[in-house]
Structures are given as structure tokens and as C-alpha cells.
Homo-oligomer: A and B are copies of this chain.
């Protein structure tokens, strides 16, 4: 029976029963974490052979003879550029291999746009009284944190099943010169798991922007992180931008943080040759080069596109059952009650859960008090403010399946409890 169809008495009974279940869980003294999109130990173990790819018996030389131990090679070794350019859909001269963090590259890119401007001829963003970014919501909290830290004003744009609301995006960018960018996780978006449709990608590439230094921050973090055998596909944004004569519009970010090691992977930046040249020129002041040994280690381990694919299959085998565990619990426990909806993603790292309006904070709090840490409610929105207080990002990858099942059971109880409380208060 749907909760919304219950009488006040039925609701009170329901609440009482669920409260008892909640107290039982609370007494268990759980300590579980579903807060961040972190790989599990089992996933990290998949890349342990990489630790043997370079030993003291190796030459440490790149294919062109570069000694990867020494200084130099600002934009990365050739074989790393070749391998990872395929991964993010650019050509080898349209990529820059960075350190271990694509977030760091995104942050630095915005810092450079603020200080130096988009191409060395345009006004630095920091010289405007106000700079604004469009933020498809729900979205990735660390993107929003970068904007907030730099004082960039964020404007919410609803994320729909085929990508951001492009009618709204097109309208906003056409009329406001201070809207300089948009954050996109175009494939298996964080947290909704949405992949942008071909039409969305084309509209991004072709839309008219008032600002001639508008940039799309295309964080393709999950481009190869499929959860099914019939994965989503994403149109190549750089190709579309070139066709539309807007080649410099898009910055593409990727990494192996969720392919090899989250703390010791390789991050990359893809863009038009002109953009790459511009940023390389600025980067040459910032560093002599990133860790080429780790690049070499990655190439030796992953080998080629087929090597990456088969490696990602192994990840899928580890995490798909975790997503399944969460989804099936939600379907069993929550679906019949009509108090929430969620998206079953084909890839990525999250399940985006929408409770009744005004219930997200309460659910997260209840979980916390019983020992299960979730991403804070509101985190998926700029400034941590979910206007409907309904979205919760569930990150199922880190805990082992057994722990996850316990955590999800508790989560469902908390959803029921918070929903009953809410409906009772409103009734």
C-alpha cells in the first residue's frame, strides 16, 4: 500500500513499526560508509599487476628513448598520449597528460582562466565583476566546490534523462556574457547516471553563446565505466564542436582514478590543438613535467584500448552486483510505498535517489545516527542547497556486498521512517 494513501492511523502504525526496526539497527553499532565514489579493495586489487610493470630491471625509457626518471616531457610521454587520447576521444596532439588528479587539472584550468583568460587575448575571467557557471543538477559536489571557492556564481539547470535542459541552457548562454562555463559529466553522470543524448551533444556544440570565451567543462570521468553489456554511447563532443566551428569551446577531462588506482592514477586534459598549445604554454611555467614513470607504468599495464576494455570488464564484475543489491532492495522495500524514485544506471559510480520533498536531510541524519555515512544531503547541488531537499547520492562501490546489504536495509528503513514522519506532519 502506498504511504500517501494511508490514513493517519495507518501511518502512525507504520511509523511505529519502522521505528522499532530502526532502533534494532541502531543497537548494532554499525560503521559503514556509502559517502564517496571510492573503488573497493577488490577493485584496486585488479591493478596490482601494474606494480610489477616497472622494476629495477627495466630501462625506464619511453618508446622514443626519453628517460622517464629525469626532468622533461611536460605534456606526457608519447605512448601515454596515444593510449589515453583514444580513451577520451581526441587525437594525440589534442591531449595533455597530467598528474594523478583530473580534479586538479579542472581547478588549475579555471584558475588560469581567472588569471590569464581563455586564450591570452580575451579578458581574464577574474577581471569581471561577476562570473557565472551553469550547473546541471543534481551534479558533482567537487565541481561546485571549485566554483564556490573561486567566487564563481552557480546557476542550477535541471538535468533530464537525456542531459541538461538544453532549452534553458541555450537561452541563458545566449543572453549573458558573464556565463562563462558549464559543468558536465556527460556519461553516467554523477549522481544521476544519465548519458547525454546525441542531440544534447550537438546542441552544446552548436549553441550561440553571448560570451566568446564560454567553455564546456566536459568531465568524462565515467566514459568507460559500464555496468551492463549494452552500455550507453556518447557522441564525440570535440568532433561536433569542430563541425560547428566551435573547436575551442570544450575542455575534456579524464583519468584512470577509477581504472587503476584512485590515489595514484593518471589524469588527462583533452581539447583543441589551440587550447592545448595555450595551456601547455602556461603550464611550462608551473612545472617541468608530471610523473612519467607512472605514465609508463600505466601504458605497460593497460597496453591498448582492448586492454582497457577487458580491465574495465573486471571492474564491472566486482561492482555490478553491488548496484544490483541496492536497486533490488529499493525495488522490494520502497517501490510499493510510492515514496521515492531512483534511476538504475548503466554505468558510473552512483545511484541517485529522490525521496519525498523535504526528506533527504532527515534520511541522511537517521542513517548517520545508526552508523551509516551517506553523502550529505544537498551535496549534489551548488552551495549544498537542494531546493526540494529530496536528492541523495548513494555510492555503492566501496563497501563489500555483505556490508552494503546491511547498509541498504538501514537506508530503506530510514527512508520509510522519514517519509512517514513527513506525511504525518503534513496530514
Contact = CB atoms under 8 A, between A and B. Distances in A.
A69 B44 contact: yes
A285 B149 contact: yes
A346 interface: no
B56 A48 contact: yes
Copies of this chain = 2
Contacts of A287: 101, 103-104, 107
Interface string A342-360: 0000000000000000000
Nearest to A293: B264
A263 B73 contact: yes
Contacts of A292: 263-264
Nearest to A258: B71
Contact of A51 (B54, B72, B264, B286): B54
B115 A111 contact: yes
Contact of A107 (B56, B71, B285): B285
B55 A51 contact: yes
A287 B51 CA distance: 23
9 closest A-B pairs (Cβ-Cβ)? A264-B293, A104-B287, A69-B261, A48-B56, A107-B286, A149-B285, A71-B262, A44-B69, A101-B287
Interface of A: 36, 38-39, 41, 44, 47-49, 51-52, 54-56, 58, 60, 67-73, 99-101, 103-104, 107-108, 111, 114-115, 126, 142, 145-146, 149-150, 257, 261-264, 282, 285-294
15 contacts: A41-B67, A44-B67, A52-B55, A68-B263, A68-B264, A70-B263, A99-B99, A101-B290, A104-B286, A111-B111, A115-B115, A115-B150, A149-B285, A263-B288, A291-B291
